[in-house]
Amino acid sequence: MRPLLITDCDEVLLHMVRHFRTWLDEAHQIDFEIGAGDFATSIRRRDGVALERERMWELLGGFFPAEMARQTLVPHAAEALASLAGQADIVVLTNLTDGCNQARVDQLAAFGIHHRVVTNQGGKGGPVAALVAEHGDPVTVFVDDLAVHHDSVARHAPGVHRLHMVSDETLAAAMPAAPAAHARIDDWREAEGWIAARFAAGTAAEA
């Protein structure tokens, strides 16, 4: 039975926040201070007024899928996945609406990444547990940039190894390590070795 790698996409495989910021500036005259807090507090109109949370979600909906072509590949991500695919099954678990699934599949394929894509809304613990069960409960590694998802996976699938990764340097500098993750690595060259070592050990994570 092959191990399983479940990885997020935005700020793990593809850069997103820097391109979202550029689009907000160009198309909406909105400032986005990366690393200043969550989106609700870091996105402001030019008059300095914070956006309502509902408007923030509308803007994200405007970026996905229409502006996804702006996104760029995280350095060394494609090479690491290609190497790990020789020993493990790989699933991309991404928090987008289901209507964006094919757009994400096509987007990743353009960068040479051809793996199953599962779209999700909300916490990732339940979907991770379901994927682990579907694959026969193998040794599994989960990679994500958001602490809330590591906490969710820790509660729903405690035997999964959890790696916290934030690829954008500005965002990474402002984001503390996720308490529920087993490790924090922001570079795929190092992360590949950490993941491969978990697979080679062949044991579940300590809760």
Question: pTM, whole model, 2 decimals?
Answer: 0.95
pLDDT at 5: 98
Each residue's pLDDT tens digit, 16-47: 999 999 999 999 999 888 765 566 667 888 88
pLDDT at 172: 94
Query: Which positions ≥6 away from 170 have C-beta within 8 Å?
Result: 18, 34, 35
Distances (CA, A) of 169 to 90, 100, 108, 186, 199: 25, 27, 22, 8, 28
CB 30 within 8 A of CB 51: yes
Each residue's pLDDT tens digit, 97-141: 999 999 999 999 999 999 999 999 999 999 999 999 999 999 999
pLDDT at 46: 83
Stretch 174-200: mean pLDDT = 97
pLDDT greater than 90 at residue 54:
no
